[in-house]
Amino acid sequence: MAALRAFLRLTRPVFLLGGALLYGLGAALSTDPIVWPNYALGQAMVTAIQLAAQYANEYFDVEADRQAGERRTWLTGGSGVLAGGRLAPITARRAAVFTSVVSLALAIAVGTISGWAALVGLLALAGSWLYSAPPMRLVASRYGVAMTSVIVAVLTPVTGALVQGSAPVDRVIVVVAPLFLLHNAMLIAFERPDVPGDTAAGKLTLSVRLGPMKSAQLHAAFIGAALAAQVLAIQPGPLSWVEGGWALGLAPLGALQVGWFSRTSDTLLATGGLGLFGGTVLCLLGGLR
């Protein structure tokens, strides 16, 4: 039982829920009724790719995770399972390979519905490995935040839209643009508690390279740009106030995130970042359906 609990912790289900919501958001942009068998197949591919990315990251990032120590939060610093010796690293590597094979099989199946959706899935899978594994290992570079945001906040909802096949391109763009910006801001908030450990492990992440002041400024710029993009999506954009207006109600939380970036606890900052991004996704979902 202890090993099973450790493996579930390694999997980090909260992030799988985020992927499901983003995929559902993309599907909700469809102008035709949702075809549920196709929806389920696309969701299975997205989840398998997420699992492959998660396990690969845990395996290749174990040394940096060991440095997290007491600064690890429920959202940052990895799961701590491999770093704490609760499972052998080979377990994560095998899980990453297995779920990657499953992802490839599901991408082939999705290709019978939408070749473009299958291609996007394959790009996401390849990007996930480039993010974690040598020689590129983008997680340890300034490009890791942007790469993750493209895969999660852009490609995931785009996959949902492509599987259904009837989402107007302009609506997809105005929905994913602010989500991409907010996801970047969220990841910068996630990186803050990891900076000492990443520095010690030689991971030159975006936040390590920028330092605390420039990281705070970039975090604020992403949130401000996301708010502007949300307004433009409604006026003069293709979303109605009912569809896009609810998300604007989270602007005070965005302002709070900017104000307390350098002042609040790591856990509260990370939770606020997740709340802002996840809340925006939920508001858009509620407005669209």
Closest Cα partner for 144 from 205, 83, 80, 76? 205
Peptide bond into 89 cis (omega under 30): no
Whole-number CA gyration radius for the chain: 19
pLDDT tens-place string over residues 160-178 = 999 999 899 999 999 999 9
Residue 16 buriedness (CB in 10 A; 0-12 / 13-18 / 19+): middle
- The rounded percent of the chain whose pLDDT value lies above 90 is 83
Per DSSP, the three-state class of 158 is helix
Give pLDDT tens digits for 170-224: 999 999 999 999 999 999 999 999 998 889 888 899 999 999 999 999 999 999 9
Asked if the model's pLDDT at residue 69 lies above 80, the reply is: no
Which residues, 6 or more positions from 68, have their beta carbon under 8 angstroms from its beta carbon? 76, 77, 78, 80, 83, 193, 194, 197
Predicted pLDDT at 236? 84
Q: For 73, which DSSP code?
A: -
CB 47 within 8 A of CB 19: yes
Q: What is the mean pLDDT of residues 120-127?
A: 98
The mean pLDDT value for 248-269 works out to 93
Residue whose C-alpha is closest to residue 53's, from 120, 117, 132: 132
Taken in order of first residue, the domains within the chain and their CATH numbers are 2-288 (1.10.600)
Q: Give the pLDDT of residue 286.
A: 94
Matching residue, tokens 């299975």: 44
pLDDT of 235: 80
Residues 250, 255, 257, 260, CA torsion sign: negative
How close are the terminal C-alpha atoms of the chain, in Å? Answer: 40
Q: 17-66, pLDDT tens digit by residue?
A: 999 999 999 999 999 999 999 999 999 999 999 999 999 999 999 888 88
DSSP string, 89-137: HHHHHHHHHHHHHHHHHHHHHHHTT-HHHHHHHHHHHHHHHHHHSTTT-
> Which helix (H) or strand (E) element contains residue 160?
helix 156-164
CA 43/CA 29 separation, integer angstroms: 15
Rounded distance between C-alpha atoms, residue 198 and residue 184, angstroms: 18
* 258/280 Cα distance (integer angstroms): 16
Which pLDDT value is given to residue 73?
83
Please check whether residue 276 is in contact with residue 206, taking contact to mean a CB–CB distance below 8 angstroms. Answer: no
Give the pLDDT mean for 227-244. Answer: 91
The single-letter code of the amino acid at 166 is: S
Task: Report d(CA 125, CA 121) in Å as an integer.
Answer: 6
